[in-house]
Amino acid sequence: MAVTPSHILRRLYLVAGGLFLFAGAVVFKLVNLQAAQGEKYRDLAMQRTEKLFTIAPNRGNLYSDDGSLLATSVSKYTIRFDAVTVKEETFRATVQPLAKALAAQFGKPADYYEKLLKKARTNKNRYALIARDLDYSDFLAVREFPLFELGPYKGGLIIEQRTVREHPLGKIAERSVGYERYDDNGYVTRVGLEGAFGDYLRGKEGKRLKQKIAKGQWKPIGLDNIIEPKDGYDVVSTIDINIQDIAHHALLRQLEHYKAEHGTVIVMETATGAIKAISNLGRTEEGTYYERLNYAIGESHEPGSTFKLMSLVAALEDGVVDTSTVIDTERGYWRLYDRVVRDSKHGGYGEITVSKAFEVSSNTAFAKIIHNGYKEKPQNFVNRLMEMRLHEPLGMPIKGEGVPVIRNPGDKGWSGISLAWMSHGYEVSMTPLQTLAFYNAIANGGELLRPRLIREVREWDRTVEKFDKEVLHPQICSPETVGKVQELLRKVVSEKHGTGHKLDTPFLSLAGKTGTAQKNYVGKDPEKLAYISTFAGYFPAEEPLYSCIVVVHEPDKSVGYYGADVSGPVFQSVAQKILANRPIESHLPEFTLEKPDLDEAYEGYYSLAQEKMQTLPDLRGMSGMDAVSLLENLGLEVEVRGNGKVKRQSVSKGTDISQVKRVILELS
Amino acid sequence: MRNIFRHLEGDKAIWAVTALLALFSFLPVYSASSNLVYVVGNGTTMGHLFKHALLLLLGFGIIYGIHRIPTHFFKGLSLIALPVTILLLIYTLAQGNTIEGANASRWIQLPLVGFTFQTSNLAAVVLMIYVARYLTKIREQEIKFTQSLLPLWLPVFIVIMLILPANFSTAAILFAMVLVLCFLGGYPMKYLMGIIGAGVVFLTLFVLLAKAAPGLFPNRVDTWISRVENFWDGGDTEGDYQIEKAKIAIASGGLLGNGAGKSVMKNFLPQSSSDFIYAIIIEEYGMVGGLSLMFFYMLLLFRIVVVANANPTIFGKLLVVGVGLPIVFQALINMAVAVELFPVTGQTLPLISSGGTSIWMTCLAIGIVLSASRKPLVESDGERIDEENPLEILSGQL
């Protein structure tokens, strides 16, 4: 074979050369990876390892006027159990203590939980439901239970957190509190205050870039968020919890009694337009009621007799009639073209003043007043109504405000009888809130205010925005007219013939107008014919603080349907409770109790007690109680016989105290 | 300093390259340890660093100790060590450690110290010395194939067969290195071809047997096949997970890298501190870092050639090449895997990757190369005779 060193070296150079080539190939591949394919893999790196995370802001709270929480966001925790990850011996040792702990926490029997856990184990269930939607304190407790305390990998504890909107007051004002909900397609449903003030409450999402470090584990890149999340502001609404509670329950009771389809109550502060309560109850198929739709704001309907106030104000303003003008009610039956206006009282009221026509709510009188007064120029009546801003929505921030309808002459639907029918609230349409706003304006001396649902927007204790009263119309009619109709509204309740007289009580001065509008009258089918019972007004009549409207749709006709019967009691009970809740301040005249002998006795004792005595004082005439305390303070022993004032003392006055040890007092 | 360096004999460049690589290795090992600590939940970062330092310290102890041994002593040493390593290999395999049903009997637990030891690495070094010795012995003879069968190929096949079931790549690399050494040592080419043929036939039989009777003995045949298939299959399949991550790491490294410790992919690459460390190095130190590392290995290769060139004895030359080339070859295989030039193997990057056995056996090999690079005290033509070799008698027998 004869191997020589040079032989080896030649071959070694060959091999080394081969290795250098190999190295060259590696370098080539390396450069190729970075240059040619670099873009692709760098993109892949971003895709696989970096992600922009959204940081959800905390939604602001919704408060009532007095600071009670109406809606707040809370975390709810759902606990599940991965029965596979737990070691057999651990499971066996802890399943019973765990079941016991769960039983103690949630009130189900321990063997229920034991079965649940064991079944999950047998079925290799990695996602067994233990408890749903726990609050934070329950969640903390569960986390410390046997087995679960070992965490997700050894203890199989799976925690799912979600944020829910909680309403501490429950169903009360639920619809007006509302919600803001996003569905899967990104569409938003905005309801009530939550929806209306979502821009304040929502806050802004933050963004944070995170890098993946393992499956399901992400590490934030950098110290700061790319966008800091901004928590939503708190919104303080004008809703007063007490009034809301009163309104809700008064309405509910009445709806249940009359088996009505739905109803609404709104209470508004006269001077500011702040809505203190808004309740909307709709009937379910089972006959129970819940906050279904926002009827108060959304439902525009023919108001009926409550509209007579608007007609009367217009007529008074235009000088068509005065309250003392006498109208013939024509036996309660007035034919106009082919239609007939009827009064609710058969035979009518005879010849009555405008004032009484309003109090008894005569349809024929009002039809005649408006029709005869404006038939030459119907546009004047419409213009007057529009001047009072009755044709425009109030511009509520809550979505879905109903649009009022006031037709112009010549519009589609206008006819020869329009004036007569509009006069008592048909062929026009308004929402309860719009009607209330008008009544409130009358109560407020003619100043029309926009109803307000929000008082201020706050960030912690800082006010971001304050909402004051908004004037829609400074003076809808002359002060004289206001004065006249105020008097009439009071008389509706106070006069014996008034439609609202049932509500009159000696302790409350209510003012308002009843309304009983027909609904579904087009088909002339008496079965379908239904009523809308309304009462709108304010209280106290002399210096109005609150205005209120109650509307009840489709009460059971067999039980009753008149506005005064159905809606009036709700109004009355709201007024009664609100006024009863108001503190009454009364001042009693200051007086002093004079009792000279008592003062004298006290003076005598006081002056003796102040003296540093060397000799025993004269105690006679002094009350026994005072004498004992005096002597004992001097360090003497005292024996008392009898009751009352000192008659005799065993040691006479003037004796040196150091000589005396014991004094016997005889009292009488 | 001079005093310390006076004790360090042999090729200074090899010393320098070894020291530089060892120092540099702290960076990627420390970086990769964060994955082990924070994601896998194993130990502390300081702990991993300290362990690595300890391993390297022991490694340099090995280099120092080995490089003082006269080169020709290794002839005899290999004769003693070979049977011992074969016994160790049998013991390792017999333990029957498996990873998900595949044979992973690569390690034995060292008593007392608590380290694991990968016997195949030791066996590779010992076998290379043994082959070098044999080739030296027969250099003057006209060798027949049958003559070499028992003293050369039998030990080679026993060692490789014992490594193969658990670690195909190490076995294959060792086989290739033995062939290269035989080629250098002047072993007849026609016989070498025959051996390669026999090797291929044997491997085929092994694979077929494993496929036909999967339960017969634990093996990793399925793993090899899937890795090789993944390599040839161009698309990004599920099995390309590791290599894709490695490529992402290399691509995002760019020219200068993301900076020390800033690797992202270390969290997703299994074995980021050993098998895929080159990809992590490029991600953190860029093309510049990767090419520098390549340069140092090439420098090592160059110095090995120089040492082989300078060594006066045939055994010395063959020994240097036999233990030195595998270091460079293994480094290149590791890099080739990271850049997808080669199917995924478990080969570490010598001196850089963490892992005790790999470091120590590389140190052993470097110690041997350094020993061969020392200036001989007295030179005669061919053989050194002035030094006593107590194992010469033993060496002469075979």
pLDDT digits (tens, 9 = 90+) for A199-253: 888 888 888 888 877 767 777 777 777 788 888 999 999 988 888 888 989 999 9
- pLDDT category at A394 given cuts 50, 70, 90 is very high
Whether the Cβ atoms of residue B311 and residue A5 lie closer than 8 Å to each other: no
Give the residue on B whose Cα is nearest the Cα of A34: B251
Q: Mark yes or no for CB contact B248/A45 under 8 Å.
A: yes
Q: What is the mean pLDDT of residues A7-34?
A: 89
| Sign, Cα dihedral of A104, A107, A109, A110 | negative
Maximum average pLDDT range among A143-152, A432-441, B195-204, B270-279: A432-441
Give the residue on B whose Cα is nearest the Cα of A49: B264
Query: How many beta carbons lie within 10 A of that of residue A615, not counting itself?
Result: 13
Residues from chain B contacting residue A11 (CB–CB below 8 Å): 183-184, 186
A25 has a chain B CB within 8 A of its CB: yes
Q: Mark yes or no for CB contact A1/B309 under 8 Å.
A: no
The fold adopted by the segment(s) A53-237 is: Penicillin-binding protein 2a (Domain 2) (3.90.1310)
Domain ranges of chain A: 53-237, 241-307+380-402+418-580, 598-667
Residues from chain B contacting residue A9 (CB–CB below 8 Å): 308-309, 317
Residuewise pLDDT in 10s, chain B (398 residues): 566 677 788 888 999 999 999 999 998 888 877 777 766 666 778 888 888 899 899 999 999 999 888 888 888 888 888 999 998 888 887 776 554 444 556 666 665 555 667 888 889 999 999 999 988 888 777 777 788 888 888 999 999 888 887 778 888 899 999 999 999 888 888 888 888 898 889 888 888 887 776 665 656 677 777 777 766 665 555 456 778 888 888 888 888 888 888 888 887 777 777 778 899 899 999 999 999 999 999 999 999 999 998 888 888 889 999 999 999 999 999 999 888 888 888 788 888 887 778 888 999 999 999 999 887 654 444 444 444 555 555 554 44
Q: Is pLDDT above 80 for A459?
A: yes
* Check whether domain A598-667 has CATH 3.30.10.20, yes or no: yes
Measured in whole angstroms, how far is the alpha carbon of residue B163 from the centre of its chain? 13
* Location of structure tokens 């009350």: A623
SS3 of B12, please?
helix
Higher pLDDT, B352 or A444: A444
Say what the pLDDT of residue A262 is: 93
| Cβ-nearest to B341 among A13, A16, A25 | A25
SS3 of A515, please?
strand
Beta-carbon contacts below 8 Å between A and B: 135
Mean pLDDT taken over chain A: 87
A5 has a chain B CB within 8 A of its CB: yes
Q: What is the mean pLDDT of residues A57-66?
A: 89
- pLDDT category at A37 given cuts 50, 70, 90 is confident
How close A50 gets to chain B, by Cα (Å)? 10
| Cβ-nearest to B314 among A3, A15, A212 | A3
Distance CA B316, CA B368 (A): 10
Distance CA A33, CA A280 (A): 69
What torsion, rounded to 10 degrees, do the Cα atoms A314, A318, A320, A321 define? 70
How close A21 gets to chain B, by Cα (Å)? 11
Query: How many beta carbons lie within 10 A of that of residue A647, not counting itself?
Result: 15
Q: State both tokens at B143.
A: 């060798």
Which amino acid does the sequence have at B235? Answer: G
Which of A4, A15, A28 is the best mutation test for B, with the most CBs of B within 10 A?
A15
- pLDDT category at A2 given cuts 50, 70, 90 is low
Q: Is pLDDT above 80 for A590?
A: no
Say what the pLDDT of residue B295 is: 94
pLDDT tens by residue, A353-362:
999 999 999 9
Q: State both tokens at A261.
A: 């389809």
Q: Mark yes or no for CB contact B308/A8 under 8 Å.
A: yes
Domain ranges of chain B: 2-374
Q: Mark yes or no for CB contact A1/B141 under 8 Å.
A: yes
| Domain A598-667 in the same topology as domain A53-237 | no
SS3 of A635, please?
coil
Q: State both tokens at A516.
A: 């009983």
Maximum average pLDDT range among A347-351, A401-405, B239-243: A401-405
Residue B50: φ, ψ to 5°: -65, -40
Q: Is the pTM of this model over 0.80?
A: no
Which of B31, B148, B184 is the best mutation test for A, with the most CBs of A within 10 A?
B184
Distance CA B341, CA B347 (A): 14
Q: Please state which of the ranges A442-446, A536-540, B205-209 shows the lowest mean pLDDT.
A: B205-209
Residues from chain A contacting residue B328 (CB–CB below 8 Å): 19
* Location of structure tokens 């003497």: A636
Distance CA A318, CA A324 (A): 15
How close B143 gets to chain A, by Cα (Å)? 7
Whether the Cβ atoms of residue A424 and residue A518 lie closer than 8 Å to each other: no
Whole-number CA gyration radius for chain A: 42
Per the document, the length of chain A is 668
pLDDT tens by residue, B172-199:
899 999 999 999 888 888 888 888 898 8
**pLDDT above 90 coverage of chain A, percent:** 42
* Location of structure tokens 């800033």: B262
* Location of structure tokens 């926490």: A105
Q: Mark yes or no for CB contact B287/A30 under 8 Å.
A: yes
Distance CA A499, CA A608 (A): 77
pLDDT tens by residue, A306-328:
999 999 999 999 999 999 999 98
Q: What is the mean pLDDT of residues A171-184?
A: 78
A40 has a chain B CB within 8 A of its CB: yes
Q: Please state which of the ranges A6-15, A400-409, B223-232 shows the lowest mean pLDDT.
A: B223-232
How close B380 gets to chain A, by Cα (Å)? 15
Whether the Cβ atoms of residue B165 and residue B94 lie closer than 8 Å to each other: no
How close B390 gets to chain A, by Cα (Å)? 26
Vertex A530 angle, CA A528 and A531, to 5°: 170
Distance CA A276, CA A267 (A): 5
Q: What is the mean pLDDT of residues A649-663?
A: 80
How close B245 gets to chain A, by Cα (Å)? 8
Give whole-number Cα distances, B66 to A302, B12, B130, B138, B371, in Å: 109, 16, 16, 26, 7
The fold adopted by the segment(s) A241-307+380-402+418-580 is: Beta-lactamase (3.40.710)
Residues from chain B contacting residue A19 (CB–CB below 8 Å): 301, 325, 328-329, 332
Q: Is pLDDT above 60 for A541?
A: yes
A217 has a chain B CB within 8 A of its CB: yes
Q: Is pLDDT above 70 for A520?
A: yes
A51 has a chain B CB within 8 A of its CB: no
Q: Is the ipTM of this complex over 0.90?
A: no
